[in-house]
Amino acid sequence: MNDDLLTRNFFDLFHMPVRYEMDIDQLQQEYRSLAQAVHPDKYASAGDQERRISMQQTSWINKAYQTLKNPVERAAYLLQMKNIDINLENETTMDAAFLMQQMELRELLEDVRTQADPLATLDTELKNVKAGMQELASGFSEAYQADRLEDAREALRKMQFMQKAHKEIDTLTAKIEDELF
Amino acid sequence: MALLQLSEPGQSTAPHQHRLAVGIDLGTTNSLVATVRSGEAATLPDSQGHHSVPSVVRYSKDRICVGHAAAEHSITDPKNTIVSVKRFMGRGVDDLQVLGKKLPYDFVATDSAVPRIHTAHGDVSATEVSSEILKYMKARAVSALGDELMGAVITVPAYFDDAQRQATKDAARLADINVLRLLNEPTAAAVAYGLDSGQEGVIAIYDLGGGTFDISILRLNKGVFEVLATGGDSALGGDDFDHKIAEWILQQAGVDAATTELDASTVRLLMQQARAAKEALSSVEQVEINVSNTSLNWQGSLSRAQMNDLLDALIKQTILACRRTLRDADVVIENIQQVVMVGGSTRVLRVREKVAEFFACEPLVSIDPDKVVAVGAALQADVLAGNKPGEEMLLLDIIPLSLGLETMGGLVEKIIHRNTPIPVAKAQDFTTYKDGQTAMAIHVVQGERDLVTDCRSLARFDLCGFPPHVAGAARIRVTFQIDADGLLMVSAREQNSGVEASVDVRPSYGLSDNEIETMLRDSMAHAEDDMQTRSLREQQVEGERVLAALDAALTADGKTLLSADERATIDVARAELINMNSKDDADAIKAAIKQVEASCEAFVARRMNSSIKQAMRGHSIDEYATHHEE
């Protein structure tokens, strides 16, 4: 029924080129102008039917926006568009050096309270993780552009690890800040 | 601008008629109602000039009274005089115990998880008490404006969970108010300050009310308010400040609060004195306190510095929440351009000091913090009612707490994460764990913790009657849909069989639809005839509205978007509705409206899509043409 909007891929929806590199400012602008057109508040005094459709369409746009905004979800979505299985969590084969690095980071986080300045340590690690993520993301972008999809998939998997690490550092920082503050 | 007007069918029905819509701030301590008249939003006073209505309801044997008249009895008749009922909204019996032993009410255990308070007027739930306040606000608006209300925007703390929002909406239904939107209080405040006009950037809204604390981080851009993250504590507010001071008074009076059982009216007296002291200390350095009745007798003084010591730990909790929320929003303090103060408790000087210190900027306090939320809600209500064609203002809210399902082992699988923009829909597949399983219990929870027991239980329902499979082979898709009010609908369906089993959602802490129906009927039982007349009139108005909207749509797009067959089907349904609308059978009108809507399904969808296309096209042309204003 709503083929036009609800079957459009997320990139087309926002008039963005199908690629990993993303102009976030422009994405935001496109999101806002689409939301202006379909949001349920624009149909507050319309009939139930229009309101229901408006809710479905806005839900779809929100989902698309959330997906494209997030560097990891955007990468996963690009691979999904190429019908690549992105359910990577149960795979065991992986770059040994990368895994080692991740384990070291986990150990460091576990003992961070014993450090002289735990917050400073966490801050440094967060910067490392962000830098690592940047690097992986450009690796993904390059591989995807060159249609080396296996490599792209590997990069995505590492990015997922990095995202988890990022979250853990955030949570830990918040906890320690609460204790110290 | 033409693009936007195309996409707003709501306006086409009666472009020149001003519709009365109000904003209601349903507060813990006080409530206010505001509306827009001649372009100005203002709160509505009673005949004595009071704008704020104490959120107090007194139940006597033969009458219910609300506001100042009720508040006068809070000390003499504490068990029948319900104050701060907002703290009980959407809460279960267990939660109430956590809220403090000092509550003077007699709670009654019921079959459902919703606690009821025993009063001289019968047992009442928090939702019913709130609905009395809403009825009072509605009556004030109707008498001030001299006409029926088209609808209202009712504000809720951003941090309210689904059960609390649902309870608020139920209260509005009981008060017979058409809810245009449940709006988050901080967002309403941002609207009141008009921070969208000419400003782009990130702002923080610090909202400390009587019983709740919210912190929201918003990004503003050309009329669009995008909430980035929200945090807070739905059980922390000015009431807790009063408690701290009251505890201090007891301590000074040599009363051991842990072992002494104080009677209800002493507790009220104490709280009142504590509150008066707190308010006085916003303008003087020291205040005299005098608490005396038959069971307690103490006189003494409290200085501002002493009070600050008592409150600092609570204020610190709010600052910690600010810090966490900034992190969630991925924003650093330097990015925050303004801090808006909302809620009566931000009058406490120490609060302003600490907030200014944390955000390193002077907070905005120019609009009365008690009125700012109602004013913002009124502005939004005016837009939603269609009184401001071409208005670009749009409020994009998020969900404050994650929503998930219970899985094996009492763990939570999050389906929608907090700070996700709403409305939103998300589906997730689950499977069975036993061979031959034909039913599945679905338990919906809200919260950030991993264990079900640490989260709030929202609803339980069973998906029954799908064909047996071996363990792990069934594919149950559970879909969460959150609407623009932040309210959740959950549905479940077994995918392999294609059989859609029906689901019955039982709200854990809310009122079921049946209960609400019953209450509505009870309250109107003696006015049966009135009700029928009213319901017929309502259907006729609805019928007229549908016809007007349809005709406008047909004139605009009938030729381009409809085939001859489709047009014929619509015309038949339209003729039937015109016919029925002139008769006096409400149900027949309702059926005819349904018929029109069914015949227009595809047409409506096409129209909406075409307006979106217009918006997209318009926008991208704009993109390439060097960003000049539309």
Can you give the pLDDT of all 181 residues of chain A as single tens digits? 344 666 778 999 999 999 999 999 999 999 988 998 889 888 887 777 888 888 989 999 999 999 999 999 999 999 999 888 777 655 656 788 888 888 889 888 888 888 888 888 898 999 999 999 999 999 999 999 999 998 999 899 899 989 999 988 988 888 888 787 6
Reading the block at residue B273, the tokens are 């004195």
Q: What is the pLDDT of residue B112?
A: 63
Please check the confidence at residue B272 and state whether its pLDDT lies above 50. Answer: yes
Reading the block at residue B189, the tokens are 């405040």
A102 shares a domain with A65: no
Cβ atoms of B488 and B526 within 8 Å: the answer is no
Pairing of strands B56-59, B64-66: antiparallel
- Residue A164: how many CA atoms within 13 Å on its side-chain side? 11
Q: Which residues of B touch A1 (CB under 8 A)?
A: 601-602, 605
CA B131 to chain A, closest CA, distance in angstroms equals 22
* Other CB atoms within 10 Å distance of the CB of residue B426: 18
From the candidates B424, B542, B624, which should be mutated to test the interface with A, based on the most A CB atoms within 10 A? B424
Residue of B122, B108, B127 lying closest to B509 (CA atoms): B127
Residue of B374, B419, B288 lying closest to B51 (CA atoms): B374
For the CA atoms of chain B, what is the radius of gyration? 26
Reading the block at residue B406, the tokens are 């219970």
Q: Is A90 contained in some domain?
A: no
Distance CA B487, CA B410 (A): 24
Report yes or no: A179 at the B interface, CB cutoff 8 Å: no
For residue B485, the SS3 value is coil
Confidence of residue B177 (pLDDT cuts 50, 70, 90): very high
Report yes or no: A96 at the B interface, CB cutoff 8 Å: no
Query: In Å, how far from its chain's centre is CA A74?
Result: 6
For the CA atoms of chain A, what is the radius of gyration? 20
Q: Is A19 contained in some domain?
A: yes
Q: Which residues of B touch A10 (CB under 8 A)?
A: none
* Other CB atoms within 10 Å distance of the CB of residue B577: 23
User: For residue A26, what is the nearest residue in chain B, using CA coordinates?
Assistant: B623
* Total count of domains within chain A: 2
What mean pLDDT, rounded, does chain B reach? Answer: 83
Cβ atoms of B186 and B419 within 8 Å: the answer is no
CA B382 to chain A, closest CA, distance in angstroms equals 11
Report yes or no: A89 at the B interface, CB cutoff 8 Å: no
Reading the block at residue B164, the tokens are 């609390």
Distance CA B420, CA A62 (A): 8
Terminus-to-terminus CA distance in chain A, angstroms? 55
Q: Tokens 């006409």 belong to which residue? A: B147
Q: Which residues of A touch B616 (CB under 8 A)?
A: 15, 33-34, 37
Residue of B156, B131, B2 lying closest to B55 (CA atoms): B131
Q: Is A149 contained in some domain?
A: yes
Q: What is the pLDDT of residue A127?
A: 92
Q: Is A125 contained in some domain?
A: yes
Confidence of residue B529 (pLDDT cuts 50, 70, 90): low
A17: domain CATH number is 1.10.287.110
A106 shares a domain with A35: no
- Out of A32, A46, A173, name the one closest to residue B224 (CB): A32
Tens of pLDDT along B206-250?
999 888 899 999 998 888 899 999 988 877 889 899 999 999 999
* Other CB atoms within 10 Å distance of the CB of residue B592: 25
- Poorest-pLDDT segment among A168-177, B184-193, B500-509: B500-509
Cβ atoms of B29 and B54 within 8 Å: the answer is yes
Q: Is A172 contained in some domain?
A: yes
Report yes or no: A63 at the B interface, CB cutoff 8 Å: yes
Cβ atoms of B100 and B247 within 8 Å: the answer is no
Q: B364: which strand partners?
A: B340
- Poorest-pLDDT segment among A112-121, B152-161, B570-579: A112-121
For residue B91, the SS3 value is coil
Four-residue CA torsion sign, B342, B344, B349, B350: negative
Task: Please name the helix (run of DSSP H) or strand (run of DSSP E) that holds residue B382, with its range, or none.
Answer: helix B372-384
Q: B286: which strand partners?
A: B303
Report yes or no: A62 at the B interface, CB cutoff 8 Å: yes
Q: Is A82 contained in some domain?
A: no
Distance CA B77, CA B71 (A): 10
Complex-level ipTM beyond the 0.95 threshold: no
A107 shares a domain with A59: no
- Out of A36, A54, A174, name the one closest to residue B608 (CB): A54
Active site residues of B: 25, 86, 185, 207
Confidence of residue B453 (pLDDT cuts 50, 70, 90): confident
Residue of B549, B604, B380 lying closest to A54 (CA atoms): B604
Distance CA B545, CA B42 (A): 29
Considering only the C-alpha atoms of chain B, give the largest distance between any 2 of them, rounded to a whole number of Å.
87
Tell me the residue type at B184. Answer: N
Q: What is the pLDDT of residue B6?
A: 32
Q: Is A88 contained in some domain?
A: no
- The b-or-e profile of B265-288 (16+ CB within 10 A means b, else e) is bbbbbbbbbbbebbebbeeeeebe
- Poorest-pLDDT segment among B4-18, B173-187, B398-412: B4-18
Q: Is A20 contained in some domain?
A: yes
Spatial strand order of the sheet with B122-125 comes to B106-108, B116-119, B122-125
A176 shares a domain with A100: yes
Q: What is the pLDDT of residue B14?
A: 42
Tell me the residue type at B314. Answer: L
Q: What is the pLDDT of residue B491?
A: 82
* Other CB atoms within 10 Å distance of the CB of residue B360: 10
Is A36 close to B615, i.e. CB distance below 8 A? yes
Cβ atoms of A155 and A136 within 8 Å: the answer is yes
A169: domain CATH number is 1.20.1280.20
pTM of the model: 0.79
The Cα-based distances of A123 to A99, A136, B27, B542 in angstroms read 21, 20, 40, 59
Residue of B326, B366, B332 lying closest to B346 (CA atoms): B366
Q: What is the pLDDT of residue A48?
A: 79
A176 shares a domain with A103: yes
A170 shares a domain with A102: yes
Cβ atoms of B256 and B239 within 8 Å: the answer is no
Please check the confidence at residue B30 and state whether its pLDDT lies above 80. Answer: yes
Is B10 close to A35, i.e. CB distance below 8 A? no
A172 shares a domain with A111: yes
Q: Tokens 């069973």 belong to which residue? A: B462
Domain that holds residue A26: 3-69
Average the pLDDT over B462-488 and give the result. Answer: 84
User: For residue B616, what is the nearest residue in chain A, using CA coordinates?
Assistant: A34
Q: Which residues of A touch B608 (CB under 8 A)?
A: 2, 38, 50, 53-54, 57
A57 shares a domain with A113: no
* Other CB atoms within 10 Å distance of the CB of residue B225: 23
Question: Percentage helix, strand, coil, to 5, in chain B?
Answer: 40, 25, 35
A47 shares a domain with A7: yes
